[in-house]
Amino acid sequence: MKLNGLKPQMMVAYLGVGKESFRHWREDFDPNPHRSFFGSSDLFTYQLIKLLIREQGIPPRLLKKCGFQSLFDYFHQHNTLDTIKDSLLQVDTDACTVNVLSSSSSRLCFGFSIHTVPLSQVIDEHRRSLETFGN
């Protein structure tokens, strides 16, 4: 039997968030919110959503306004985490932009409204969560 991914209730457990939070995140960010299973890139993207909302303090409405939904497609196309491990996610809440940049990019910006997250940090957390969840 082939495993298609995690069901929504398993995603709630994996992320360690409430059902309502996850339901809102699905509605606000997921380009396919009514799917039955979530694959590896979806797990990673939701892990990133959790980090941005819970640890970086970015309100969900701002992430939605900035087009965070496009990252589901981006991470799905870059289906191995090793291809993005040296990248940074940059969210500018004033300009309403979300970009994945090389860590050596000349487009890297700094400022009060700019949140920069090294994706290697999220990848490490994602892998630890998978190990913990699998046990």
| 87-92, strands of its sheet edge to edge | 97-102, 87-92, 114-118
Q: Distance between CA atoms of 132 and 114, rounded to whole angstroms?
A: 31
- Partners of 74 in beta bridges: none
pLDDT tens digits for range 62-93 = 888 888 888 888 888 876 788 888 898 988 88
Burial class (CB in 10 A: 0-12, 13-18, 19+), 62: middle
pLDDT of residue 47: 92
Contacts of 109 (CB under 8 A, 6+ apart): 90, 92
CA distance to 35, 80, 92, per residue, from 65 (Å): 22, 27, 11
Collapse the DSSP code of 98 into the 3-class scheme (helix H, G, I; strand E, B; otherwise coil) and give the result.
strand
Q: What is the pLDDT of residue 2?
A: 46
Number of structural domains in the chain: 1
pLDDT band at residue 11 using 50, 70 and 90 as cut-offs: very high
List, for residues 98-130, the tens digit of each pLDDT value: 888 887 765 656 666 788 888 998 888 888 888
Residue whose C-alpha is closest to residue 100's, from 57, 71, 122: 71
> Token pair for residue 132?
């913990």
Single out the residue of 15, 4, 8 nearest to residue 132, CA to CA.
15
2 part of a folded domain: no
Looking at the domain assignment, is residue 3 inside a domain?
Answer: no
Q: Is residue 97 part of a domain?
A: yes
For residue 1, tell me if it sits in a domain: no
Residue 72 lies in a domain: yes
Binned at pLDDT 50, 70 and 90, residue 20 comes out as very high
